[in-house]
């Protein structure tokens, strides 16, 4: 099939496009290459996608006319929408970037899918939509109306927008709630890269909530496996709403303590971690933990990469990419 992957120069986008190419698909990647973080890293990711069946388009999906022209010109079969303004904490600093890149851009993607009769849209949501929920593990049928950051609110808005388009236009769409993704080619503002840099330099790491935090750390290859498997299965009409729309968690279905995570990374790097215990940050949550039974029932797949294995792969990439610089 001819598949659009938005955010193709991003962390998950690059890995997803690479996997789709390996599966024999034609892939068109779209990315604005904005300077939220190092553009050189984004370009290096795109070099990993050199393939006869891959084309890259530099385009800002906030531009409705450009997005419309893209869909009219290319006539995609399916769409994987991963482009977004990431970062919970940055949403406290630059909120307008989140409404434009996560809401307006997504509306333009929905419009493109609607008018092009896309057979299935898969889009990235986030575990952050569970917000202030304290019942673990998080399951898709729990309420998601207590966001504690604007980033989370925009991702929940995506889910509601997609559902409305599915209902109105019978457009099959699947939202995937990703849980704390890590692995090779990760963003420099994410904890693995930031922590690895600090550990190797002997600098202290800020350990929020005095270490009393847990995350469902999910290796990027497991995320991609979930994306590709769900892409192949357009949702049936929901029994309650009638909309061909579904939502699935993709997580490693276990909550790992922040200190265990830091110690695993330090061990793989062969250096001790210097920890600076600090209070919780605004917009953050104490714990995430995914119930993935719904994903397993649909696809037969459940993420399972052990943290130590995933961290080892990350460290090998980190040393190969950053050490020569």
Closest CA to 155 of 126, 135, 114, 192: 126
Burial zone of 259 (CB within 10 Å; 0-12 exposed, 13-18 middle, 19+ buried): middle
Two tokens, residue 70: 């893209």
Which is the catalytic residue, given 98, 123, 130, 151? 151
Helix (H/G/I), strand (E/B), else coil: 106:
helix
CB count within 10 Å of CB 221 equals 16
CB count within 10 Å of CB 31 equals 25
Is residue 219 annotated as a catalytic residue, yes or no? no
Q: Find the Cα–Cα–Cα–Cα dihedral 161, 16, 9, 198, rounded to 10°.
A: 100
Contacts of 265 (CB under 8 A, 6+ apart): 192, 195, 196, 199, 273, 311, 314, 315
Catalytic site residues?
151
């Amino acid at each position: 099939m001819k598949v659009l992957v938005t955010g193709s120069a991003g962390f998950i986008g690059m890995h997803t496009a690479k996997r789709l190419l390996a599966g024999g698909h034609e892939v068109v990647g779209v990315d604005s290459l904005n300077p939220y973080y190092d553009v050189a890293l984004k370009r290096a990711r795109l070099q990993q996608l050199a393939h006869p069946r891959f084309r890259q388009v530099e385009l800002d999906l906030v531009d409705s006319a450009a997005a419309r022209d893209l869909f009219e010109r290319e006539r995609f079969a399916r769409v994987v929408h991963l482009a977004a303004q990431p970062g919970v904490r940055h949403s406290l600093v630059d909120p307008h970037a989140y409404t434009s890149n996560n809401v307006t851009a997504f509306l333009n993607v929905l419009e493109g899918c609607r008018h092009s009769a896309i057979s299935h849209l898969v889009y990235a949501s986030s575990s952050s939509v569970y917000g202030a929920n304290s019942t673990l593990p998080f399951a898709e049928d729990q309420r998601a109306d207590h966001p504690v950051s604007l980033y989370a609110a925009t991702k929940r808005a995506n889910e509601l927008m997609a559902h409305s388009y599915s209902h109105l236009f019978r457009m099959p769409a699947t939202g995937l709630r990703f849980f704390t993704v890590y692995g090779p080619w990760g963003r420099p503002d994410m904890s693995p890269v930031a922590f690895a840099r600090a550990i190797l330099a002997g600098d202290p790491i800020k350990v929020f909530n005095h270490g009393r935090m847990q995350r469902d750390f999910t290796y990027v290859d497991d995320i991609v496996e979930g994306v590709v498997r769900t892409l192949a299965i357009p949702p049936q009409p929901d029994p309650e709403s009638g909309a061909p729309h579904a939502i699935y968690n993709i997580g490693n279905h276990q909550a790992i303590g922040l200190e265990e995570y830091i110690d695993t990374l330090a061990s793989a790097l062969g250096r001790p971690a210097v920890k600076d215990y600090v209070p919780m940050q605004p917009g953050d949550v104490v714990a995430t933990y995914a119930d993935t039974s719904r994903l397993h029932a649909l696809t037969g797949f459940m993420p399972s990469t052990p943290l130590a294995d995933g961290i080892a792969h990350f460290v090998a990439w980190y040393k190969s990419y950053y050490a020569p610089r």
